Chains A and B, each alone.
Chain A
Amino acid sequence: MKFAILVFPGSGCDVDMYHAINEVLGAEAEYVWHDEAELAGFDAVMVPGGASYGNYLRPGALAKGSPALEQLKAFAASGKPVLGVGNGFQILTEANVLPGAFLLNKGLKFRSGKVKLTVQNTESIFTESYEKDQQILIPFAHQYGNYYVDEETLEELKENNRIAFTYTNGSVDGSTGHIAGVLNEQGNVLGIMPLPERAVEEIIGGTDGLPLFKSILKRWSENNVSHA
């Protein structure tokens, strides 16, 4: 299985994602520089965290000026998995691939640490290796982690089981519905604000993020066997 890590100027957490997939998961990931993006040959696209374009204007917004965005949208529409973490999630909302938008943290300041999440949906490509209501500890680091959707959208997300992860003890940063991770309508795109790729090794941040990547790999392997 081939993962593309879509790199924009300033996407600093591309290395975290690369390491998680290549060295821990044991799959194959390649950096794809946004200017030269050719996503067609890949099986999944990861939009990493960091501060693309310096987070100027609004976090994630300026990536809309990149030629990679149309490709990314087409890739998402094809049904193959797309994962956006942190700033990558912000890019996906700005590009309207996922619903909602991000506001400044309720406490105004950048915050980092580890946070407990509850797995709400265990049927998606990304979450089937978790148990329903499982609590996991995942690192986070953001200043615009206050996820906003209006009431109507929130109801729709709930009804369609599109909320993948919530903050177990409520969202300190103010996110609507305590949402930490959300799926698109087809279920093949996940945005998550905390950073599961930083929780794949015991000695670094624990291993609670690993099942997410294993889920993607597992689903792909099953599909590939059945196609064979």
Chain B
Amino acid sequence: MTKVNVYVTLRESVVDPQGTAAKEALLNLGYNEVQNVRIGKLIELELDGAVTDIETRVKEMCEKLLINEVIEDYRYEIGEAAGK
């Protein structure tokens, strides 16, 4: 089995209402060093280890379903790195 972690964030150009609210809250709590907060999500995939071209397949999964390219960016980690 291969583990893949997909990290999804809103694109730079898109306002993140949750991130903005979290930033305000952190500033209220006195964390004045906070300049920006972006909230995203982590998607953990467990893949059949027999599959080759994992990278192509993962990219496809992201682009077809897991992320919406109009508003979201993503990156992923495969195997060892994701297993940690």
Interface residues of A (CB under 8 A from B): 57-58, 61-62, 64-65, 93-94, 99-101, 103-108, 146, 148-150, 174
Contacts and interface: CB of A to CB of B under 8 A. Distances in A.
Contacts of A62: 65
Nearest to A58: B68
Contacts of B15: 103, 106, 174
A142 B42 CA distance: 24
Given A108-B17, A146-B17, A174-B17, A61 B71 contact: no
Nearest to B20: A106
Given A64-B64, A99-B70, A150-B70, 20 more contacts: A57-B65, A57-B66, A61-B68, A65-B65, A93-B70, A94-B68, A100-B70, A101-B68, A101-B70, A103-B14, A103-B15, A103-B17, A103-B71, A104-B18, A107-B17, A108-B18, A146-B17, A148-B71, A149-B70, A174-B15
B78 to A, nearest CB: 21
A57 B64 CA distance: 13
Interface of B: 10, 13-18, 21, 64-66, 68, 70-71
A150 B18 CA distance: 20
B65 A148 contact: no
A64 B16 CA distance: 24
A100 B69 CA distance: 10
A103 B66 CA distance: 15
8 contacts: A61-B65, A93-B70, A99-B70, A105-B17, A106-B15, A148-B70, A149-B70, A174-B17
- Residue among B10, B14, B15, B17 with the most chain A CB within 10 A? B17
